[in-house]
Amino acid sequence: MSTRAATGQSADARTDVAAEEAMRQALAGLAGETPSAAIVFASPKHKLPRVLAAVDAAVPGIAAIGCTTAGEFTERGVIRGGIVVLLLATEMVVARGLATGAKIDPERAAALLCEGYADAQKTATSRGFPASTSVVLVDGLSGSGDRIVQAVLRATRAFQQVVGGAAGDEGQFLATHVGAGGRVTSDGAAALHFFGPNRWGVGVDHGLRPDPDRHEVTRADGNVVLEIDGKPAFELYRAHAKARGVEITPGTAGPYMIANELGLFFLGELRTARAPLSADASGAIHCAADIPEGTTIAILDGEPDEMVAAARRAAQEAAQGLGGREAAAVLVFDCVCRATILAEQVSRELDAIRSVFAKTPIAGFFTYGEIARSRGRLDGWHNTTAVVVAIPR
């Protein structure tokens, strides 16, 4: 049996109606095959426990995980305030995990996420399945996403692929939620570990351009940047905005910072982006992941054409990663910052991905952080980035 996939979506404001509609559409796409795994993306306007309960009611015992979002989409288009479901009918071995306390103890959280990993790996080995990929959804406001990814890598095995995204709450930055197995939590993470005969394809790109001025993080505490160039961190953003005729305060700066993220350099090369989620009265900036002291940074700028081109390149990289095999489904984890910058042009990114996977079910959401750790890639946590994941048929 090969992997077959289908998506369902609904923009109905009523949670129960929307969840049932999305499941009905996805099940119809499977043409009678029984799914063994589900990944759910739901607007925070819907109660995630009720959404996951509807999935389980439709297919009792299915291995399902889900999270809240900052916007959802399938191959049919982008929706807001809705529910998206990806169903997989597959021979792959699947293990599920849920953890709380992601911010306080990422190592313990990763251990909980991977409790069923070893047994699933033994079963997969007995079936001759050498490839494995973990899909991880994390709280978007914990600031510990990168540490969760590293801990999952230590709790699994060498060359484990880890992909996924950070849950959102439609730009409110108040609370995000993840769920699995009938439980939902904030400050947590959920995972599905897949073992199969073929490797998944993973593509990553952002298309961002760094400001020519470089700066140094001179004081930081985990994901909180306290000083840049020896001054309160927020002063960098205040000056950047003022030069563009925009006045911001720590209380009003969220949208501006999200649209102008921080780029981190290593050996003079732009390696990754970090999302500044908020600023406080002391001038500290709270980011979606850690930024170590001594890091060279620059504020990033995104041009729509370059960002759309980056999404296409990510899709092409994912397709190439399949080694000539056909994709059964595509997962997309796309930063809410990109949606903010692209605004009414946001559908162009989905069109770019569809140009590569024209007849493939696609499910994705706008995130507060993106996860992509695969062979040849040392970094696992990203911001303002398009992550495209191709699941082989």
Q: Are residues 100 and 214 in the same domain?
A: no
Q: Are residues 195 and 232 in the same domain?
A: no
Q: Are 135 and 163 in contact (CB under 8 A)?
A: yes
User: Which of 302, 330, 360 represents a domain boundary (last residue)?
Assistant: 302
Q: Which DSSP helix (H) or strand (E) runs through 206? A: none
Helix count (H) and strand count (E) of the chain? Answer: 10, 27
pLDDT value of residue 378: 64
Q: Are residues 241 and 383 in the same domain?
A: no
Q: Is 356 helix (H, G, I), strand (E, B) or coil?
A: helix
pLDDT value of residue 261: 87
pLDDT value of residue 269: 82
Distance separating alpha carbons of residues 278 and 355, to the nearest angstrom: 36
Q: Which domain holds residue 285?
A: 208-302
Total number of domains in the chain: 2
Distance separating alpha carbons of residues 14 and 47, to the nearest angstrom: 10
Distance separating alpha carbons of residues 181 and 52, to the nearest angstrom: 8
CA dihedral 94, 27, 321, 2 (to 10 degrees): 70
Q: Are residues 141 and 121 in the same domain?
A: yes
Q: Are residues 360 and 240 in the same domain?
A: no
What does the radius of gyration of the chain's CA atoms come to, in whole angstroms?
A: 20
Q: Are residues 228 and 197 in the same domain?
A: no
Q: Which amino acid is at 290?
A: D
Of 172, 174, 207, nearest to 70 (Cα)?
172
Distance separating alpha carbons of residues 100 and 188, to the nearest angstrom: 4
Q: Are residues 57 and 107 in the same domain?
A: yes
Total Cβ atoms within 10 A of residue 377: 11
Backbone angles phi, psi at 118, to 5 degrees: -60, -45
Q: Are residues 355 and 289 in the same domain?
A: no
Q: Are residues 126 and 74 in the same domain?
A: yes
Q: Are residues 35 and 74 in the same domain?
A: yes
Q: Are residues 192 and 233 in the same domain?
A: no
Q: List the structure tokens of 202.
A: 């993973």
Q: Are 163 and 371 in contact (CB under 8 A)?
A: yes
User: Which of 280, 302, 324 represents a domain boundary (last residue)?
Assistant: 302
User: Which of 239, 274, 302 represents a domain boundary (last residue)?
Assistant: 302
DSSP assignment of 112-176 equals: HHTTTHHHHHHHHHHTT--EEEEEEEE-TTSS-HHHHHHHHHHHS-TT-EEEEEE---TT--S--
pLDDT value of residue 353: 98
Q: Are residues 148 and 41 in the same domain?
A: yes
pLDDT value of residue 270: 84
Residue for token pair 């406001």: 141
pLDDT value of residue 374: 83
Q: Is 233 helix (H, G, I), strand (E, B) or coil?
A: coil
Total Cβ atoms within 10 A of residue 19: 27
Say which residues have a Cβ less than 8 Å from residue 204's Cβ, sequence separation at least 6. Answer: 314, 317, 370, 372, 377, 382, 385, 386, 387, 388
Distance separating alpha carbons of residues 99 and 83, to the nearest angstrom: 23
pLDDT value of residue 325: 96
Q: List the structure tokens of 268.
A: 């003079």
pLDDT value of residue 274: 86
Distance between first and last Cα of the chain? 9
Q: What is the pLDDT along the chain (393 residues), one digit of tens a residue?
A: 699 999 999 999 999 999 999 999 999 999 999 999 999 999 999 999 999 999 999 999 999 999 999 999 999 999 999 999 999 999 999 999 999 998 889 899 999 999 999 999 999 999 999 999 999 999 998 888 888 999 999 999 988 999 999 999 998 889 999 999 889 999 899 999 999 999 999 999 998 888 899 999 999 998 899 999 999 999 999 999 999 999 999 999 988 887 888 999 988 888 788 888 889 999 999 988 889 999 999 999 878 999 999 999 999 999 999 999 999 999 999 999 889 888 889 999 999 999 999 999 999 999 999 999 987 666 788 888 999 999 999
